[in-house]
Structure 1
Amino acid sequence: MKRFMYDTLLKWKDRGNRKPMIIEGIRQCGKTWILKHFGEAEFKDVAYFNFEYDDRLQNIFEGDLNASRIIKDLGILRNKSIQPGTTILILDEIQICPRAITSLKYFCENLPELHVAAAGSLLGVAIAQMGKNVSFPVGKVQMQKMYPLNFPEFLLAKDEELLYEYLNNLSRDEAVSAAFTGKLEEAYREYLITGGLPEVVSSWVHNHDIGLVETIQSEILGSYEKDFVKYASRSEFPKLTLIWNAIPAQLAKDNHKFIFSHVKKGLRARDLEDSLQWLISAGLIYKVEKIERPSIPVTTYADITFFKIYFSDVGLLRRMSKFPADVVFDTSSLTADMRGILTENFVLTELVARDFQRPFFWKSGGIAEVDYIIQEGVDVVPIEVKSAKRTRSRSFTEYRKKFRPRIAVRTSRNTIARHSDEYGEVLEIPLYLIWKMKAYF
């Protein structure tokens, strides 16, 4: 399975001032697989250790954090020495052992010739909870986020490498050939059903069995809830579960605004804020805050009390919402709201995976609303999301008239186009090309 993270790891491997690498991301997004695959392809030896499965590992890090002593002890544990330059040391589920996280500072300072890579599913939570006796090695590690497969990676997983290369090499003013739009529309529909978690995608590509896809998605959702039990405090666990299960219903409301009191009657923001932040730190959900004034820097104009919550994977949102796969592209008014929610979630995950700065949304007067606002350099770009081909939007027009952005984006199931008027330029971009949006600026 082709993952773009491989290219990032290659650059890291050959960097002269290399630091230990930490890959963080949700469980089942492919962190372990990519590190093992990369290690086996690029090194003579892979020393792989998993803190979740081997309790002996924590003992090695309980003493001093001398890097040479640690690799000697790890070598004894696996009955094979670890050789800098030819071995890659992989420390998986490192969040379980905070002192192992701290030790990366000493690997950086005292043993830089050894390639050290770590991965963790709940690193954000672990870092926030690190006590006084341990510290995060700020400035001594390279942090890298990993996400579920985005749409171009999904195409590659479907063995559509030529189609991906064709899209990737499209010039700024070149339209997608009509010969390929049907295939791309179908792939996009499949992605809304499966999402981008590798096990789900692999099952779909090899079996094309919706029932099996949904079984795997349910198992993954169950594993996340088991993590609530395992890593959250006893008092926090029930609140995490309440928030997690409430997200689809919160998105189904007219304005999608997350309202704490709707999670459970009698609970308020102060009761649930810490638990919500736990889910955000774990990478399971994304928080999109409102702005009313799209000035630079956009982050300073966010209203932290008015926000929406989306899932880190659109397939899991569909499954958790119990939205049938066979109506994902249905045109019935009965399915319109959920199709719109899935489309918004898809666009958000594509933006996040392509390293766009933190997205916001714009709302004014309780009526006009634009789905996403991003800052790209000196441009503040509004993005209107449409799940179908009908793209007329009064809010989008109102925003452009009021703020006159240099470029505004509307993404839908229509083909790519550009047009300009007295309010600026509008880029019409298909949903299946939103990952290429930067190329059109």
Structure 2
Amino acid sequence: MEVFERKGYRKLEEWASTSQGTTALLVEGARRVGKSTLVEEFGHRNYRTCLTVDFSKAPNEVLEYFRDLRNDLDSFFMYLSSFYGVELHKRQSLIIFDEVQLYPKAREAIKQLVADGRYDYIETGSLVSIRENVKDILIPSEEESIRLDPMDFEEFLWALREKPLSTAIADSFHQRKPLPDLLHRKAMRLFREYMLVGGMPQAVSAYIKTHDFGKVDRVKRTILKLYREDIAKHGGTNKLRITRIFDNLVGQLSKKEKKFNVTSLGKDAKSRDYDDAFFWLSDAFITNDCFNSTDPSVGLSISEDHSTVKCYVADTGLLTTLALADSATTGNSLYRDILLERIEINEGMLTENVVAQLLRTSGHRLFFYSRNDRENPDNRMEIDFLITEPYKHAAMKHRVSPIEVKSSKRYRAISLDKFKNKFNKKVGTRYILHPRPLSVEGDIVKLPLYMAGLL
């Protein structure tokens, strides 16, 4: 698979320069998000040698090294080096434990290996914190962790060799000046392509090589099949509930109000019975949960209501495939018609989902604000997303910034005014993300959708 420039690479560099062998790094992320490719590329570029133990393929002989030789590290490294044919050099070699969740004892050994100090260690894994993968081990305190998300829009542009455009978009955002019309139209076209393709590296690679959405769709269906298999294998007693949520994601997100209605899963379904199932999907990086912050302030999580959740698909390209999964395959022509707006698809669903994806990728936890007051219409409002950021009119102190997402060029944004009136000094810059060019009207900044990841 093609190796793409990823922002996660910088995080690996930061870890290596600050850790200096005092910690190992765990890279978590969804299946097929590019963890192994990224880490191996980092290892080969930055170390004299790089040894990878892939626990999805490691024979029992290698597993025995971890079981029998943990107290004899000289022999452990000698046998490991010999088996994989990689010479290890003190402080110049990286050892990678790939798919470490498949052999938790290797993760537990990190404490001793780091204390030994000879080499650096990076682990990669999915589902690393589900009960069966941690129940019999002591999680090492010497382990740092980062998450790797699907490629964001900027990384997608890099992969398409459109780095100058990504630079122009960033400059436009920071200077609060719109792109020229020609560049804006190009950016919006590529952003629509991104929503259909998504950010899973295999899907992006297939698109770059073929520009055939049908072939990209087949890649995404394979990934979705893996997710279903993971649910069946690792979902435990909750696998039926997890499957029900997964199968209802499109239906829930296609509604005007995106809040997940648990009662739609069955007449006896209760929110509290599904808490673990929602957590499982989020912990597997399959979904991004967005909670209602009932009394928004700088600490949005203080008032988060876990009984009210919007459940977005972590990769919008996968959501597109789920939405078009009525038949066994979806051909290139149907995707092209959607891209060129010849056929209508639920734009609101895809647009809000991709904004959630890009906000999460840029480091924000996801919150929204919703209030339904039958007696006082002024209190009735729905704000798609909330973030906190420095506000220039408050001496750069953090304030709550409400974000409204609009998929069409014609809209109203009454809720933003209601939110400002209700929470007053708690509120900072208000944002509208829409298909139009950037514009500023007082404390309302209207950004084109392709700038969502810069917030």
TM-score by length of 1: 0.90
Residues 372-422 of structure 1 deviation map (CA, whole Å, 9 limit, x = unaligned): 0112352111011111222422212211222232211111111112121xx
C-alpha separation between the residues in 1 aligned to 2:340 and 2:347?
A: 7
Amino acid at match of 1:340: G
Residues 278-301 of structure 1 deviation map (CA, whole Å, 9 limit, x = unaligned): 111111111111123212311111
Amino acid at match of 2:67: E
2:414 equivalent to 1:394: yes
C-alpha separation between the residues in 2 aligned to 1:296 and 1:69?
A: 53
**Who is 1:374 aligned against?**
387
**Who is 1:102 aligned against?**
108
2:203 equivalent to 1:200: yes
Amino acid at match of 1:161: K
Amino acid at match of 1:348: A
**Who is 1:34 aligned against?**
38
C-alpha separation between the residues in 2 aligned to 1:276 and 1:129?
A: 18
- Alpha carbons of 1:160 and 1:360: their partners in 2 closer, same or farther (altered >3 Å)? same
C-alpha separation between the residues in 2 aligned to 1:201 and 1:29?
A: 11
Instruction: Report the CA distance between 1:129 and its aligned residue.
Output: 4.9
**Who is 1:363 aligned against?**
370
Structure 1 residues 338-347 or 263-272, which shifts more? 263-272
**Who is 2:359 aligned against?**
351
C-alpha separation between the residues in 2 aligned to 1:68 and 1:230?
A: 37
Instruction: Report the CA distance between 1:355 and its aligned residue.
Output: 1.2
**Who is 2:83 aligned against?**
77
Instruction: Report the CA distance between 1:59 and its aligned residue.
Output: 2.3
Residues 12-62 of structure 1 deviation map (CA, whole Å, 9 limit, x = unaligned): 233354421110000111101111112222222110111111142332222
**Who is 2:338 aligned against?**
327
C-alpha separation between the residues in 1 aligned to 2:454 and 2:153?
A: 10
Instruction: Report the CA distance between 1:321 and its aligned residue.
Output: 1.3
Amino acid at match of 2:216: V
SS of aligned partner of 1:387? coil
Structure 1 residues 20-29 or 390-399, which shifts more? 390-399
Structure 1 residues 24-33 or 69-78, which shifts more? 69-78
Q: Is the 8 A contact 1:328 1:339 kept in 2?
A: no
TM-score by length of 2: 0.87
Unaligned stretches of 5+ in structure 1?
none
How many residues align? The count is 424
C-alpha separation between the residues in 1 aligned to 2:143 and 2:19?
A: 14
- Alpha carbons of 1:303 and 1:237: their partners in 2 closer, same or farther (altered >3 Å)? closer
SS of aligned partner of 2:58? coil
Instruction: Report the CA distance between 1:155 and its aligned residue.
Output: 0.2
SS of aligned partner of 2:259? coil
**Who is 1:412 aligned against?**
434
Instruction: Report the CA distance between 1:219 and its aligned residue.
Output: 0.9
- Alpha carbons of 1:179 and 1:250: their partners in 2 closer, same or farther (altered >3 Å)? closer
CA RMSD of aligned residues (A): 2.1
Q: Is the 8 A contact 1:204 1:210 kept in 2?
A: yes
Residues 170-213 of structure 1 deviation map (CA, whole Å, 9 limit, x = unaligned): 44233212231121011101011011000101111111111111
**Who is 1:436 aligned against?**
454
**Who is 2:310 aligned against?**
308
C-alpha separation between the residues in 2 aligned to 1:174 and 1:252?
A: 33
**Who is 1:173 aligned against?**
176
C-alpha separation between the residues in 2 aligned to 1:68 and 1:284?
A: 40
Q: Is the 8 A contact 1:72 1:81 kept in 2?
A: no
**Who is 1:251 aligned against?**
253
Unaligned stretches of 5+ in structure 2?
326-333, 374-379, 391-397
C-alpha separation between the residues in 2 aligned to 1:75 and 1:230?
A: 33
Q: Is the 8 A contact 1:197 1:313 kept in 2?
A: yes
C-alpha separation between the residues in 2 aligned to 1:157 and 1:80?
A: 31
